[in-house]
Amino acid sequence: MPIPIPAIEIIEDFLAQKRIAMIGVSRNPKDFSADLFQEFCRRGYDMVPVNPKVSEVMGQPCYARVQDIQPPVDAALLMTKPEITDQVVTDCAAAGIRRVWMHRAGGKGAVSLKAVAFCQEHGIQVIPGQCPFMFLTGAAGVHKFHGFFRKITGRYPKHQHAA
């Protein structure tokens, strides 16, 4: 089964949330996840780091589980390995999170088809296999190219069409 391509409206809805958990963010400032975390922060998002292996990320307290976050977040951006994503989406459902983005730029990323199915079965909007940088206005050239490449290969999200 191929990874489903979400409608652009689901991506826009996710990005309209202002309080987002980033699950699996690294404390290493040179890691891609840290770069993405900082970019969201620069854009005014209230980013909440989640990683059971660290106590803080870039000066912010880091939570071990998404269910521990208070006040709760509106959405979760997963930077996890696929085998961990399966458990994380269960945690997101338990925490009442209705929007999940499974990051993927290259390789498998955080995408797990089992986790995608879980989200769909539990009424969670899911974005599997896209990189948020492609959808942030004014992103750097490499991210624009990544989006352009996905467009010409038919893997870029499209608008939903009313029936």
Domains of the chain as residue ranges with CATH: 8-152 (3.40.50.720)
- 145 pLDDT higher than 50: no
pLDDT tops 60 at residue 143: no
- Whether 152 has a pLDDT exceeding 60, the answer reads no
Q: Does residue 42 contact residue 16 with C-beta atoms inside 8 Å?
A: no
**71 cis-preceded (ω within 30 degrees of 0):** yes
| Gap between the Cα atoms of 29 and 57, Å rounded | 9
Query: What does the alpha-carbon distance between residue 34 and residue 117 come to, in Å, rounded to a whole number?
Result: 28
What mean pLDDT is predicted for residues 60-78?
Answer: 95
Q: Which residue has the higher pLDDT, 28 or 95?
A: 95
Angle at 150 between CA 147 and CA 151, to 5 degrees: 85
Peptide bond into 29 cis (omega under 30): no
DSSP class of residue 9 equals: H
**How many H helices and E strands in the chain?**
5, 7
Read off the pTM.
0.84
